[in-house]
Amino acid sequence: MKKVEAIIKPFKLDDVREALSEIGITGMTVTEVKGFGRQKGHTELYRGAEYVVDFLPKMRLEVVVTDEQVERCVEAISSAARTGRIGDGKIFVADVDRVIRIRTGEEDEQAV
């Protein structure tokens, strides 16, 4: 099993969720986060004062999938989140050793 974690632009969340749903992936965790990479930040004007916004709003999406689903999952996220502009985000794939569904006690692929 693998954990696929994606950092994407907030307005792309619905597109990514729909793309994952189309390939049969429905369970996911979404967190509002802030950060920056090459996109750095930008300046804004508030009540006549200019200030720098260093951390930009992003969404972190976490999905645990079977080994067979990983490539389709990554492709679905990548194509749905891509705008072609800086700051589109990143996808991380990591091994998952064990999953347990708390309610039933099911483990591993049955728990996903």
Q: Is the pLDDT score of 46 beyond 80?
A: no
Sheet strands (E) in 36-106: 42-46, 49-53, 56-65, 89-95
| C-alpha span between 111 and 29 (Å, rounded) | 15
Domains of the chain: 2-110 (3.30.70.120)
Look at residue 87 in the predicted model and tell me its pLDDT: 85
Please give the pLDDT value at position 19: 97
CA dist 110 to 35, 42, 104, 106, 107, Å? 34, 45, 10, 6, 6
Tell me what pLDDT residue 31 has. Answer: 97
- Phi/psi at 24 (nearest 5 deg)? 90, 10
What pTM was computed for the model? Answer: 0.83
Least confident of 18-27, 32-41, 65-74: 32-41
Question: Which pLDDT score, from 0 to 100, does residue 51 have?
Answer: 67
- What tens digit of pLDDT does each residue of 64-112 get? 999 999 999 999 999 999 999 888 999 999 999 999 999 999 998 888 8
